Amino acid sequence: MRVRSVKGLLHVLQWEGKMTDFENSIEQELDFEKLTELCDNLKEAVREILNSCGMYFRIFSRVKSPNSIAEKLLRGQYGTEQNPKKLQDLVGLRVVLYYYDDLSICRDIMESTFQMVDDWSRPKYNADEFKATKINGVFRFPEEFFNVYKKELWNLPIDTTFEIQFRTVFFEGWHEIEHDMRYKGEELWKNYKGFSRYFNSILATLELCDKSMVTLFEDLGHSLYKSGRWSDMIKSHFRLKLGEGQLYPEVAQLLDEDCKQQR
């Protein structure tokens, strides 16, 4: 047991030493100040686009830390003969949507705005299981944003791409807990598959919450339509952030006439 413990300790020390050296080289090669500026510019661009569409959302961003980059490159063996693929999420955006049916709208908006790499990544569902509602896409850095990065391009196996992930607000909280307590805490679940299954079953409730929220506002929109409250009807049924905007009088008049004909 003692020999195994010593070997295990040496392995850990060797790994930590390798990680430290690699982190230092990453810090020297990448300009994290400029990458942060690039990340902020991308976040504000996406925020402006979604705001202009009247979407309800929250947006977050991050640049991978040297430690996270080193760990992912070493574990994934990126840029090797066995795995020539490069790391693609040096910069990451996360958009939390209020309503699940906005996922497809945001997907189309991003595809028409940025140059996409590969296809969207999304959970594959079976009829008897539940998974978190989210989609992930990888896009090239737009040239006008990447211009802020003046330093010579790095030699690390890292693409000039960013990842954007869309989740619903109900799944956001669950995913944060899952990431810290299961993905990074595998030791908690060893030999306790029943608890892990129970944890997954919570997703069924969250999926129902997602769909129920949309149904609620669609039903409210129908009631507002019957009451002739057109601006409120559009805001509720389509769940758009309209602010103080009102319909043109001509449109309201057409809707008034249409409503009278149906009574």
pLDDT tens-digit readout, 138-185: 999 999 999 999 888 899 999 999 999 999 999 888 888 887 888 777
Q: Is the pLDDT of residue 130 over 70?
A: no
Contact 224, 233 (CB under 8 A): yes
Higher pLDDT, 82 or 107: 107
Q: Which of 27-36, 141-150, 203-212, 247-256 has the lowest mean pLDDT?
A: 247-256
Look at strands 134-140 and 116-121 and give their pairing.
antiparallel
pLDDT bracket for residue 57 (50, 70, 90): very high
DSSP structure class, residue 86: P
pLDDT bracket for residue 189 (50, 70, 90): confident
Contact 133, 171 (CB under 8 A): yes
Higher pLDDT, 179 or 65: 65
Q: Is the pLDDT of residue 30 over 80?
A: yes
Helix 230-237 and helix 193-226: axis angle, to 10°?
A: 160
- Using a pLDDT cut of 90, give the percent of the chain over it: 49
Give the H or E element holding residue 136: strand 134-140
Q: Is the pLDDT of residue 7 over 60?
A: no
Contact 93, 162 (CB under 8 A): yes
Q: Is the pLDDT of residue 105 over 90?
A: yes
- pTM score: 0.82
Higher pLDDT, 252 or 104: 104
| Distance in angstroms (rounded) separating the CA atoms of residues 132 and 100 | 11
